[in-house]
């Protein structure tokens, strides 16, 4: 049958950035991600992302995240039909929640949620 189709979970994560709304600064967040999920459903019109970050460096205040920034995820899938296997997804941040101190580490832990960038733009245009 089909031998070259990717299986669920058959991807390798490469990097993740948050880009400010003016597209002037990018912040690498790969090292502070504690959980990442990308989901889709027949009951929703878009892909969604949920990130859990453990931030000891103060990204939330340094980057001045207000909830309109772009998250860019780079990943590879071995069975992608092109020579360069690196792929990219972009999401627009829609919510930052559960901001709390992590105790002894003197940092913050929080969740960021977003929707696929094309879905976000489509909803603004319609």
Please identify, in words, the CATH class of the domain defined by 12-125: mainly beta
Mean pLDDT, the chain, as a whole number?
A: 80
pLDDT of residue 1: 44
Where exactly are the structural domains of the chain?
Answer: 12-125
pLDDT of residue 2: 47
pTM to 2 decimals?
0.79
pLDDT of residue 72: 94
Residue 64: pLDDT band (50, 70, 90) is confident
Q: Is the pLDDT of residue 120 over 60?
A: yes
Q: Is the pLDDT of residue 60 over 80?
A: no
pLDDT of residue 68: 81
SS3 labels along the chain? CCCCCCCCCCCEEEEEEEECCCCCCEEECHHHEEEEEEECCCCCCCCEEEEEEEECCCHHHHCCCCCCCEEEEEEECCCCCCCCCEEEEEEEEEEEEEEEECCCCCCEEEEEEEEEHHHHHHHHHC
């Amino acid at each position: 049958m089909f031998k070259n189709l990717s299986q669920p979970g058959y991807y390798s994560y490469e990097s993740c950035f948050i880009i400010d709304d003016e597209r002037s600064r990018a912040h690498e967040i790969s090292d502070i991600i504690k959980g990442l999920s990308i989901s889709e459903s027949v009951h929703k019109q878009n892909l969604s992302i949920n990130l859990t970050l453990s931030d000891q460096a103060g990204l939330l205040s340094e980057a001045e995240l207000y909830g309109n920034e772009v998250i860019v995820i780079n990943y590879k899938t071995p069975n992608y039909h092109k020579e360069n296997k690196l792929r990219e997804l972009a999401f627009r941040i829609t919510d930052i929640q559960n901001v709390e101190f992590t105790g002894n580490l003197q940092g913050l832990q929080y969740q960021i949620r977003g929707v696929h960038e094309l879905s976000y733009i489509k909803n603004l245009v319609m």
